[in-house]
Amino acid sequence: MSSLGRQHPLANVDWLTVLVYGVLVIFGWMNIYSAAVVDTHPNPMDMSQEYGKQFLFILISSFLGLMVLYMEGEFFNKFAIYIYGLFILLLLLVLAVGTTVNGAKAWIQIGGFALQPAEFAKIGVGLMLAKYISNTKAKFNNWKTRLIAAVIIGIPALLILVQPDVGSLLTFVAFILALYREGLSGNVLIIGLGAIVFGVLSIISGFNKVNYPFFGEQSGVFILMTIVFIIGIVFMGLIKNFVVPRNRKKLYLITILSTVAAIGFSFSVNFMIDKVLAKHQKTRIYVTLGLEEKEEDRSEMSGDSETAEAADMVVKSKSDDPGYNARMAKIAVGNGGFFGQGYRQGPMTKNKYVPERWTDFIFSVISEEWGFVGSVAVIGLFVFLIVRLINMAERQRSQFSRVYGYCVASIFFLHLLINVGMVIGLAPIIGIPLPFMSYGGSSLIGFTLLLFIFLRLDAERLSVFR
């Protein structure tokens, strides 16, 4: 490290970001308390309860974050590969000795605490990607670079898929955003977005059964395929008539390939849904897309009074309604109104209607008790943090720091996107935490380290060229 002078380690640290971090963590803790408080254990630092444990995690995270700030940024550059390797080892270890919770073998039990390596693996991947890109001055217009980047992301992703923890896996998509900044073709994003839209269309049409002439009742996806095929034919016709001959050949090829790809894609999406996904995952997707039974249909089940009906609804739902979590979260959010029900006053929260409300569904608690105002404030803080991190990444002279900064911002963004999207009913139920706010030691410590490593790197931005 080439230092331009001996400065205090905490000089040049971006304190505004630290402040935002602190607000989110403390506000998260307050809401965890509201969501999980047990009348017999009113002390927020009661170690037998989630809020007490979270307090401990906050202390540990603060300590580790401070330690990172006192470290040399150079360390993370030099040891990136080892850190990456260490986390890969942990991911292997969890497959060997891990404990299974909610169907995923994702936890390593150490004493009274459980460690979730997937939450830390993102740090390793971020550092490793930054290291690779900055060292090789890689350009993303060649296949070799793309392949190596894919491998760096792919190894831990594959290990997480084996657990299987689809939620954590999805957050690895974040790295694509970081790579896009470093030159990965924008087509990847567009194709990705197009694939999502077309995939949703395929699922919706595949969900509906259609009675075809001659073929009888079949999946509606064949109609979609036919439409794609017709559009392909129309394009061929257009190319023949309106494009100069020397360009035709290439366009023909693109049209044929994309038509075939689209048909193949929609077919395989439905194949995945039908044959590969577990029943509950399939249902979750259907529920999110509004295809599975809705609450209105359910409440029609008769009881003698409105409230008894509601009670029936809850009890019935819990056992056999796949949309229960999603619906309860939405009701809790909607119940918040503009100003919220007040701290520790949310009836849906207080009466335990939303499952996982202090972990993955913490945003529903915030929404119910703090209302539209509180929800927007939290989203606003996250957007502020992400945009600030992006701008901080841009001010780095070192490419290593910049790539890493983008990784950090992208990871926060993806968590926000999936977690909040899930709570407000825009995304399927995917169990990932809301950074800094959800209960959980691994995630809080993981996100803290992720952020503070970048804050350390940023603090040294003026003194390093890498």
- What is the binding site for other proteins (CB under 8 A)? 139, 141, 177, 180-183, 186, 295, 299, 304-315, 318, 330-338, 347-348, 350-353, 367, 371-372, 375-376, 379-380, 382-383, 386-387, 390-391, 394, 406, 409-410, 413, 416-417, 420-421, 424-426
Shortest separation between residue 403's beta carbon and other proteins, angstroms: 12
**Residue with smaller CB distance to other proteins, 135 or 391:** 391
Question: How far is Cα of residue 145 from the mean position of the Cα atoms in its chain?
Answer: 25
**Residue with smaller CB distance to other proteins, 191 or 253:** 191
Give bridge partners of residue 60 from the DSSP assignment: none
Query: Residue 209 and residue 152: Cα distance in Å, rounded?
Result: 42
C-beta separation of 61 from 87 below 8 A: no
Closest to 440 in 3D by CA, of 378, 377, 361: 361
Shortest separation between residue 62's beta carbon and other proteins, angstroms: 27
Shortest separation between residue 423's beta carbon and other proteins, angstroms: 10
Q: Is the peptide bond before 117 cis (omega within 30 degrees of 0)?
A: no
Give bridge partners of residue 107 from the DSSP assignment: 99
C-beta separation of 406 from 372 below 8 A: no
The residue type found at 409 is A
Shortest separation between residue 330's beta carbon and other proteins, angstroms: 6
Shortest separation between residue 443's beta carbon and other proteins, angstroms: 21
**Residue with smaller CB distance to other proteins, 153 or 445:** 153
Shortest separation between residue 226's beta carbon and other proteins, angstroms: 32
The tokens for 171 are 């957050």
Give bridge partners of residue 217 from the DSSP assignment: 211
Query: Residue 115 and residue 107: Cα distance in Å, rounded?
Result: 5
> Each residue of 243-275: b (16+ CB within 10 Å) or e?
eeeeeeeeeeeebeebbeebbebbbebbeebee
Shortest separation between residue 219's beta carbon and other proteins, angstroms: 30
**Residue with smaller CB distance to other proteins, 78 or 318:** 318
**Residue with smaller CB distance to other proteins, 278 or 310:** 310
**Residue with smaller CB distance to other proteins, 335 or 398:** 335
**Residue with smaller CB distance to other proteins, 23 or 386:** 386
